[in-house]
Structure 1
């Protein structure tokens, strides 16, 4: 008895130990996945400029046309099934009268034979009466079922016609939408060819909408084009530092059964955020100039900023982190695959925040745009 108890306790301890080991392994795997995701996030932020250099930012507007409209097949479902037709009405055979055979023999009773005939005739008449009633009921049921099926088929045909009409209308709507889209693209292309400012602005908007930034560092753009100077004035809004991950890695503390974050060193946080801001500036200039193959935009005046709630007023304020002007001919001669973004901006005479992470505004006073090289 004691030995069995000890064995049971040992088995329970072994099971608990195994369960604890499995739990620790699960948590370790969870931490590994979180750290892998974190590393991917930082790789994306650190590679904002490199990510766009392998992409041709030019947008072929002709490719936006709808070459042919694809319509889904018409699918009426149960309405495609014809109401079953009825088989011809078949009546049961009419009862046949069979007269009792006449008795034979010298002692046969004529009276009994006559009585048998009377009973047979009466039975036949009753059978015929019931046969007629049955046939009448069959006929009435057949007529009622025929009418029910006729009405059902008429309803089906009506509903099918309505479904076909809706399908035709939907097809027409898709065709009309494609036609309108193609007409709009034709106008867009023509306006762009004639340097209509709104068309140039719209084209830049299309280009920038194709510029995919990581979820951890979203960027929004605003821009206007001045035809007289052929300069595009742009603002790129980046997330404020508090919205950017600041975790170095996640660790599993087995004694507490907790996953805790280890923070990035302050210097690394500042360097990564500033590097991302410089990259956004160079990337934005590159994407617009590269996409503008016709050279309609001669220069770009770009501001990279972030917004925050001002501690003093509680109102949203915009903080400029970069102010730079770039000339098309000079900028497109750079080999961006080998540049240091901050050095590129300094070469362009940009006004740069001394500490973007600390939201120190760039000095955007007069003279910032005197150099467009």
Structure 2
């Protein structure tokens, strides 16, 4: 209490981060976005292909499948909070000639429904497309909802393709591509207001192909998902310091486009940095490192990924900075590695 008899002046209010932990957009303030690219792309595909059906485990709104449900209510199935039932039903529909898109959160598909996906879908090579929101660190709700190990889990499953799109354009083009693929696909889904990044580049999605988005002679970023967006931002920032960074976007994690990766790594003299929104265990970084060593390549190699840990809850900007996948942290770490060399 103040000894003057007056209440002390209140401290200036600090600006609070108001990012929703569950459904926060990963778009930066003022960044161009497109709403629900997955939902809209699936509707457009379903107009042309009567085999397309949609299923969800009580998460239509949070995987953008509600857009499909409004357009095609007779081809939409709400399975409730039962991922095992979701995947088994999708397998049954695939056996009857449909192309099911099953949506849930990535943690629930990877951890809760793994055996059902393995036995009912992957072993049978059925064309079920598993589109899962909240991949990696795209929610602040903590370990129960952060799918930081989903790629590692599905990379170990035979006969399943893994796609990690960067932005709205990637998703829009990936949807018909994975539907046409004769086999199961796991898609790491960005939902809601999704950044529009790749429109500025001469880019088109091809299943199984990595694409060079930007040239540079000092650093080669090999990235997937939202870390391609961050790698592009970091490359522009590094350019201000005279550092030229290339970006190779690898939206398909399995099968990996080893030929393109080797061709880019063979351009000597560049620091190779793999950047991913996933644990450093079992993801893109390990896949690239294995491919390099198996083919006799040993470049200067560094890895930007999430730690092998259960991550904190909180606002996404804070968490991305804390765990090293924000643009500023990528720039900082890349400069440090170049100075070491």
**What's the TM-score, normalizing by structure 1?**
0.22
Structure ranking higher in strand proportion: 2
Larger Rg: 1
TM score, norm. by length of structure 2: 0.23
